[in-house]
């Protein structure tokens, strides 16, 4: 793969840059409850040297009933200061599943106007499989200010997605598994209807990844989107269960050179419980 410190970097790239003074590494591991994994405990047991733990559920909008919605600017800035992450840093974010939740944090930094952030391709599993070192020591933190310029166009709410679904001026692309998209499988969160946003296309995030959880090439990803009937000439809104894996689609689009994208932060956790918006079932 070609390393790009604004989207995706390889384990080889990280080995070469591990001692750079302005590198900051984030462990953004996150799992659904049924995975039976504790991301923070795993981080405390073993993480890439110098990595800080980015808690997706805590660094969120605590005023919202929806899971891990994007935090207010002030909260994001204060958490980053406390983590010693700020202006002038090159950030690399990874997770313990290979590529699951790290892309969400990549998107969140983009939303806050930060450009120099990349996802570690293959994440911690690939890093460890290749025999690279981990540690269990917390990093030494020094405060660092971060200048935030919120990018409104990179996020969408239920009203905007509803309008896009009706007007068909955007393509909504759903990253959930195909059986959840069709409405054949129950949602992992209670109280949600089954199905998908009318007019949406199904691109399960796993179809953009190799078996080792590294991302397919931009050309291969383009083929996947096109095979799913996604009109790449239109702006795209990515969606999923709760706004985490949608960001994997967003990362793939950015690497493909498709920059007219936004992410539906509430995703199915919001749409599936909203009584006034329609739900479609079956194939797209």
| Cα distance between residue 44 and residue 155, in whole Å | 32
Write the CB contacts of 201 (distance below 8 Å, at least 6 apart in sequence): 171, 172, 173, 174, 228, 229, 230, 284
* Angle at the Cα of 249 from the Cα atoms of 46 and 81, rounded to 5 degrees: 50
Catalytic annotation, pick one of 100, 240, 253, 269 = 240
Residue 221 annotated in active site = no
| Cα distance between residue 28 and residue 7, in whole Å | 15
Task: Evaluate whether 224 touches 209 at the Cβ level (below 8 Å).
Answer: no
DSSP code per residue over 20-77 = -TTEEEEE-----GGG---HHHHHHH-EETTPEE--TTTSS-TT-SSTTPPPPHHHHH
Strands (E), 82-205: 90-94, 117-120, 134-135, 155-156, 171-174, 201-202
* Angle at the Cα of 136 from the Cα atoms of 130 and 141, rounded to 5 degrees: 110
| Cα distance between residue 66 and residue 273, in whole Å | 10
Residue 177: count other Cβ atoms within 10 Å of its Cβ.
Answer: 17
Q: Render the burial of 248-258: b for 16+ CB within 10 Å, e for the rest.
A: bbbbbbbbbeb
First-to-last C-alpha distance (Å) of the chain? 32
Catalogue the active-site residues. 240
């Amino acid at each position: 793969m070609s390393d790009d410190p604004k989207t995706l970097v390889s384990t080889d790239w990280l080995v070469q840059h591990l001692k750079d003074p302005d590198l900051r590494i984030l462990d953004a591991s996150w799992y659904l409850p049924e995975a039976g994994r504790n991301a923070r405990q795993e981080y405390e047991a073993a993480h890439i040297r110098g990595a800080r733990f980015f808690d997706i559920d805590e660094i969120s909008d605590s005023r919202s009933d929806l899971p891990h919605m994007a935090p207010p600017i002030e909260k994001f800035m204060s958490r980053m200061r406390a983590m010693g992450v700020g202006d002038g840093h090159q950030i690399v974010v990874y997770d313990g599943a290979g590529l699951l939740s790290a892309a969400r944090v990549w998107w969140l930094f983009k939303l806050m106007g930060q450009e120099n952030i990349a996802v570690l391709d293959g994440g911690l599993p690939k890093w460890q499989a290749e025999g690279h070192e981990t540690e269990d020591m917390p990093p030494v933190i020094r405060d660092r200010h971060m200048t935030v310029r919120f990018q409104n166009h990179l996020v969408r709410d239920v009203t905007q997605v509803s309008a896009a679904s009706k007007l068909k001026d955007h393509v909504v692309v759903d990253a959930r598994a195909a059986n959840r998209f069709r409405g054949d499988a129950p949602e992992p969160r209670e109280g949600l209807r089954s199905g998908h946003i009318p007019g949406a296309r199904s691109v399960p995030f796993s179809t953009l990844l190799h078996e080792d959880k590294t991302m397919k090439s931009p050309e291969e990803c383009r083929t996947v989107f096109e095979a799913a009937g996604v009109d790449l000439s239109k702006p795209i809104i990515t969606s999923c269960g709760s706004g985490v894996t949608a960001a994997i689609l967003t990362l793939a689009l950015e690497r493909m050179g498709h920059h007219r994208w936004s992410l539906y932060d509430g995703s199915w956790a919001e749409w599936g419980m909203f009584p006034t918006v329609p739900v479609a079932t079956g194939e797209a």
